[in-house]
Amino acid sequence: MSFLSLIGFFFVIKFFMYFILFFTGDSDFELWWYNMFSNKLAHAYTRDDGKIYIVYHNDTLKGKVVWITGASSGIGEHIALQLSKSGSKLILSARNKEKLLQVKNHCLEISGGKLSANDILVLPMDVTNVSKHVSWFDSVINHFGKLDILINNAGRSQRAKWEDIELSVDREAFDLNVFAAINLSRIAVRYFNQIGSGQLVATSSVAGIVPPPFSATYNATKHALHGYFGALQREKVHSNIYVTLLCPGPVFSNFLKESFTAHPGEEYL
């Protein structure tokens, strides 16, 4: 077998495994591998409601300061809940302060005494208001004295026919799903450069790899995240600054109810 044939063979195997995981694992290959074989780090379990949760067994994340945008519901909320069990100190951000306070209270309840009220900062924000990003970032540093991990999770999906989408919707979606995350992350990276370490996480989607129909703008925003953060991954490969792209498949949340459509201000029904 020639060298090129060998490379082609490995690519076929890789895509075959991704195809199987699409139907069985609801994750990318790297996440599946860690869930299956990194028992020292975590294990996944299914609750009675049918949802899958990951529980961490070591103190890797204990005391880490983690900022989560889009933390009032869905993926962001459950990331916060799991991190609270590990003893991570949290900054919870979204537009709805009441929901953030509910998430904070839930995190305190399930933290097993690892966290106090002062260990969870509720920081309401509209991430698209990029002019306030620096002041919000300063608020985090002033409260905790540091930031270890920024999780860019805020975003909205979309349901619309390709030819019906107004350009203003494209701009609005990119402002929320892409430019807000990039601007906040650049502030964080400059800070991480100063202290010598840190981690950025961005919630992308399987749609950022394989674009499904009737979500053209959403797909494009997720592709854009891969372009931006993929470049950063390679630029920081020899540093202590790490970049993680999460690519979940379908999730149980209110994500669809708040989707963009083809027209600005229109609700998805």
Residue numbers annotated as active site: 218
Look at residues 217, 242, 106, 95 and name the one whose alpha carbon lies nearest to residue 167. Answer: 217
Instruction: Provide the residue type at 92 as one letter.
Output: L
Q: What is the distance, to the nearest Å, from the Cα of residue 41 to the centroid of all Cα atoms in its chain?
A: 19
Look at residues 32, 36, 87 and name the one whose alpha carbon lies nearest to residue 57. Answer: 87
Contacting residues for 46 by C-beta, under 8 A, at least 6 apart: 52, 53
Using CA atoms, how far residue 202 sits from 5, 145, 221, 230, 261, in Å, is 35, 23, 12, 11, 23
The sign of the dihedral angle between the CA atoms of 23, 26, 30, 35 is negative
Q: Hey, what are 195's tokens?
A: 């202290």
For 191, counting Cβ atoms within 10 Å of its Cβ (0-12 exposed, 13-18 middle, 19+ buried), the class is middle
* DSSP reduced 3-state for 69: strand
